[in-house]
Structure 1
Amino acid sequence: MKKMFKLQWLSVLMLAFVLVGCGAKEDTNKETVSKEDQQVEKTSYKVKDDRGVEVEFNAVPKTIVSLQPSNTEILFALGVGDKIVGATEFDTYPEEAKKIERVSSSTTFDSERILALKPDVVIAYTTGGDDENLNALKVLEDAGIKVFAIKSATSFDDVYGDIQQVASVMGIEDKGEKLNEDIKAKIAEVQAKVKDVKAKNVYLEISPKPDIYTTGSGTFQQEILNAANVKNVFADLKSWPKVSEEDVIAKNPEVILTTVNYTENPAAEILARDGWNSITAIQNKAVYFIDPDISNRPGPRIGEAVELIAKAVYPELFK
């Protein structure tokens, strides 16, 4: 019987967020550069993960198990996605990721299957502190599998750190720097278009009635909203607060965005809610669905996330 170990997720509500990130430093003893693909061939080098553990590699990993969709996206964006031999059921981007063997569900990973795959490294995650996920991952380490854990990201800087961290593990630091430069350029391009517009009041819904949740300050989503030059009507609250219908009505947002992807036509459901017809966004039918895989996932598509929000709120600026 396969042993399944429970992962530490933020909550069932937050499964789509899969927040991961923080930077790390590397210690390299020897390296040579391949002219063909510019990948750094390293011997006996160490990279510190977000547990503070210096993970030592005798060579650049050739096979990887990724236990977080955002890390999978990073690996593909760095050009080494073909090395992933195991991933989670939520690894859906890019298209090639769907073909990778699933070794993890939303709450558990199959330790026996991971051991059978014999990956050179498991790129895992931690929420910080002494979480159950790290205890479960210790089983893999005790069996001789290298585990590199990355802390949950809460900012763009964390994402940039994640990218550089993964690039260091894979011996392609230059590609990590270039990817970060491209992402920052994309965000700057969007910001140049929205910088002079009067910021609109926006309500972002991440869970529908009867238990309505939104995003507040101190979240990755708030930083996306800030970068798109929109005002979050619930920025005075922290984290992912539960709010009432009366709270939303009182805030009277000009635009409503929803990342709910588990109900049929979430935008139409919001438009049809009883008592909401006094809200400006409802009157103007300014209610839009935003792809949660882009807007909630702290990975290399954060530039696209900013553009997605900006286009929804200020479509006239992107014609």
Structure 2
Amino acid sequence: MRPVRTFGAAMAIGVALVTAACGGGGDGGAAGGDGGAQGVTVQAANGAVTIPAKPKRIVSLSPTHTETLFAVGAGPQVVAVSDYSNYPANAPRSKLSGFKPNAEAIIAYKPDLVVVSDDLNGVVKALEKVKVPVLLEPAATKLDDVYDEIDDIGRATGHADEAKKLADDMRARIRQTVAASAKAKGLTYYHELDGQLHSVTSKTFLGQVYGLFGLRNVADKADKASGGYPQLSREYLLKQDPDLIFLADTKCCGQNAATLAKRPGWSGLGAVKDGNVVELDDDIASRWGPRLPELVKAIGDAVQKVQ
């Protein structure tokens, strides 16, 4: 089982934990670039969260939200991030776990704001009990969720203007990439999460990203009760013979075009023979934050190549 760095707590093995809808706008508090300076209330998945003053000691238990914090300019306010928060390189990584969070270990950093994407081990209630503001911003289920969570984090940290600029830039880059790519007329694809052939369907956030280009997902017909993350069989995939194969298990599992060609029967797949196997960065492909346009660009480039 590969390390989890995904949409929800277990997408790495093809099973997403679909939590509450992400935060939407907020009420009260100051507006503008220093929104948190005079106090602000943000509507997150765990309800209305009030940050009484601009936070100076932020802890992030989510790799995605760590990226967002630094992208909106709140990096200097971050004192600790989870063990899987490996980007940016200067993020203060610690032994804190986002998947087995320990409230006491978090409290030891004396945070005035904690940002999480999953409420595991009852961490949200445990921190709220000692009056530590917690923003629960779950895995995105649609593109608007991404921008909404960036707005929440920006306002909560006193960087509302920077957050808006970031979201606007992401929207523009994604629109530009999609506009530059011809619609994939009937092209099919397979997105691989791990070596056990777990994949995603069009219902998922990732599936919607692929849908921007009109690609058809070969996993859709195989999904039954897996919540959008089915495990496909080798026989099924060989029969489907997808036009494009996207690998999101290059780092965790050492997969690439060459390893695929060595799998029994895979060398005969059109995508393998024609060089249409796309080796994605695991982290970028599993996070819904500021680097999302890079994933969209990788997909767009692959579509253009096949057209």
* TM-score, normalised with respect to structure 2: 0.86
Q: Is the 8 A contact 2:284 2:292 kept in 1?
A: yes
Which has the higher mean CA deviation after the structures are superposed, 12-21 or 303-312? 12-21
- Separation (CA, whole Å) in 1 of partners of 2:303 and 2:182: 13
From 54, 60, 66, give the equivalent of 1:60: 54
In structure 2, C-alpha distance between the alignment counterparts of 1:19 and 1:279, rounded to whole Å: 37
1:66 aligned partner, one-letter code: S
2:171 corresponds to which residue?
A: 184
Matched, 1:144 2:131: yes
Tell me the distance in 2 between the aligned counterparts of 1:147 and 1:73.
17
Q: Following the alignment from structure 1 to structure 2, what is the Cα–Cα distance between the partners of residues 41 and 140?
A: 20
Query: Do residues 122 (structure 1) and 114 (structure 2) align?
Result: yes
> Once the 2 structures are TM-superposed, how far is the Cα of residue 244 of structure 1 from its aligned partner?
0.5
Instruction: Write the letter of the residue equivalent to 1:254.
Output: D
Instruction: Kindly provide the CA deviation profile for residues 81-104 of structure 1, in whole angstroms up to 9, marking residues without a partner as x.
Output: 12111111111112212xx04142
Aligned-residue identity in percent: 30
Query: What CA deviation, in whole Å up to 9, does each residue of 1:223-251 have, x standing for no partner?
Result: 22112443222234351101101110111
Larger radius of gyration: 1
Matched, 1:70 2:64: yes
Aligned to 2:202, the other structure's residue is in SS state: coil
Q: Which residue of 1 aligns with 2:247?
A: 258
The Cα RMSD (Å) is 2.7
Q: Shift in Å at residue 274 of structure 1?
A: 1.6
Distance 1:87 1:18, change over 3 A: farther
Higher mean C-alpha displacement, 305-314 vs 181-190: 305-314
TM-score by length of 1: 0.83
| Count of residue pairs the alignment pairs up | 295
Where does structure 2 lack aligned partners over 5 or more consecutive residues? 1-7
Query: 1:98-177 alignment to 2 at 5 Å?
Result: 100-105=92-97, 107-126=99-118, 132-133=120-121, 135-177=122-164
Confirm or deny that 1:306 pairs with 2:301: no
For structure 1, the residue ranges without an aligned partner over 5 or more in a row are 1-7
**Alignment CA distance shift 1:15-1:105 (3 Å):** farther
Corresponding residue for 2:45? 50
- CA 225–252 in structure 1, closer or farther in 2 if over 3 Å, else same: same
- Which of 185, 203, 213 is the aligned partner of 1:218? 203
* SS in structure 2 of the partner of residue 96 of structure 1: coil
Secondary structure at the aligned position of 1:108 is classed as: coil
- Is 1:275 matched up with 2:265? yes
Secondary structure (helix, strand or coil) at the match of 2:299 reads helix
Q: 1:89 aligns with which of 69, 83, 86?
A: 83
Question: Do the aligned partners of residues 182 and 27 (structure 1) sit closer, same or farther apart at CA in structure 2, a change above 3 Å counting?
Answer: same
CA distance in 1: counterparts of 2:164 and 2:305, whole angstroms: 31
